Chains A and B, each alone.
Chain A
């Protein structure tokens, strides 16, 4: 196995260990700690939305006009109709394919 690929394997193992730590962490903490400070709790609460937004916003701005339109349409319809992520994916995919087909 070449060293670069070996690095990827190590990376996956590290990600697996990190994930496992989050899954036992709460159990270990709760048996140690009485209560979580409110500001820490607020910060922890913000983590998923804050991290995931950084993967959405740049794609929306720099992903190209077709991707921007597809994301906007998927967002608007999914929010309006309260659709699942899977349906939203289908809408985004259909819009981008239609635009690309028309542009060809």
Chain B
């Protein structure tokens, strides 16, 4: 554990912390709006620590979706992390078991991107650097959730201040972040149509699983393309 490495990590993570802060506060406000207490919102930010999936979770919870489907959706939205941890495996082999545990817990999109970048440049990836980078994002994320939740509780009608439009636009932004991937347009078109049809004919919350399954099955069935897969590092959560 070296101090210099730790503070280098903190400095590197600082701008990302600033960029993520509004989303932490937004999560807090929307969580309270969807029936969470302030403590629930903070608890979720501290334990799940994955912004997009937390938004998905509260949206589905607010719509009284079955619990197993909420957990499955959180799992699905976070599935990209499997690729991240596979990809950075070569850089964190020298961590101890406990360090790996903590490192994977903190493995959010920018943490992955920065670790990958550093590793490619041949810079050492010490646990101190990793921890400094991770904590400067993690701790403010929890504090911002608390601030957002406190403000959220003071707001009466979310429609009156336009809160209801934020989640769909936010998710739209996330979808657009994946537009460089293979078969992006057909997947989005099929999932979109299937989810609207599911909403119309079956009803919420089934439209989520129906739409998602349609896009995933399509992707698996299409003939393999020659295009190299887009690097996940260019995608970011917020």
Contacts and interface: CB of A to CB of B under 8 A. Distances in A.
B113 to A, nearest CB: 15
Interface string A67-94: 1001100110011000011101100110
Interface of chain B, main secondary structure: helix
Interface stretch (B8-16, B124-132, B205-213): B205-213
Nearest to B186: A46
Contacts of A30: 85-86, 89
Nearest to A31: B89
Nearest to B26: A89
Given A12-B44, A13-B47, A22-B79, 13 more contacts: A12-B40, A19-B81, A23-B81, A25-B81, A31-B89, A43-B216, A43-B219, A46-B216, A51-B56, A57-B211, A67-B168, A70-B165, A92-B166
A18 interface: yes
Contacts of A71: 165, 168-169, 172
Given A31-B89, A56-B172, A50 B222 contact: no
B67 A27 contact: no
Interface of A: 5, 7-16, 18-27, 29-31, 38-63, 66-67, 70-71, 74-75, 78-79, 84-86, 88-89, 92-93, 96-97, 100
Q: Which 5 A-B pairs have the closest CB atoms?
A: A50-B215, A26-B86, A46-B219, A85-B173, A54-B211
A38 B215 CA distance: 16
